[in-house]
Chains A and B, each alone.
Chain A
């Protein structure tokens, strides 16, 4: 498969809790990105972390990258109902292809 893997496939949490999603990939990368997709709509870019970075923050988002383990995590703090969506990691490989995983479906419970 050309894809990475997100884990878990689905996640349900209470509003206000933190949500953590993980991504593993197979080849060396230039950067790793996270995107959000609301049901059936186009993906929206959230955050990008370069291969030489270990952690990055943007608002309520925190991304970590461990290139030795070929893995990344996305933490959403203080979740809100509007965060309900699917989240995808995408890796920009050395051959410049941008490859997506299958996504994590996040459901925020009221």
Chain B
């Protein structure tokens, strides 16, 4: 068990809908990362937060947004969903001490857009 909790584990929704994925980092970790994993694109970096602030941004679509709350949990919001958004979404956390960051991954949310 990595200590990172993601909910829900599975999500089935329709095109055009909006969903929220939730992540609780390991106790003491201040940094949260979101990744999207699909068969053809591999593991794509979406966004990183540190202690409530956005720290780095990857290939995150404008229809997607995220935030990290004062209790350090994070939410990834996906709106106007398309079939191509179907993927496994991972959250990871790290202590972000400045060097040699190791990521601890949650078990992921499997999103299916029908």
Contact = CB atoms under 8 A, between A and B. Distances in A.
Given A2-B44, A2-B59, A44-B105, A100 B100 contact: no
- Chain A interface: which size bin? 20 to 34
Interface in B61-114: 88, 90, 92, 99-108, 110
B4 interface: yes
A43 B103 contact: yes
A98 B45 contact: yes
- Chain B interface: which size bin? 20 to 34
Contacts of B35: 100
A35 to B, nearest CB: 8
Nearest to A3: B42
B24 interface: no
Interface in A6-40: 30-31, 33, 35, 40
Given A2-B59, A42-B4, A43-B90, A97 B106 contact: no
Chain A interface SS verdict (over half) = strand
A83 to B, nearest CB: 19
Contacts of B99: 30-31
B48 A97 contact: yes
Nearest to B102: A45
Interface of B: 2, 4, 33, 35, 41-45, 48, 55-56, 58-59, 88, 90, 92, 99-108, 110
Interface of A: 2-3, 30-31, 33, 35, 40-45, 48, 50, 88, 90, 92, 95-103
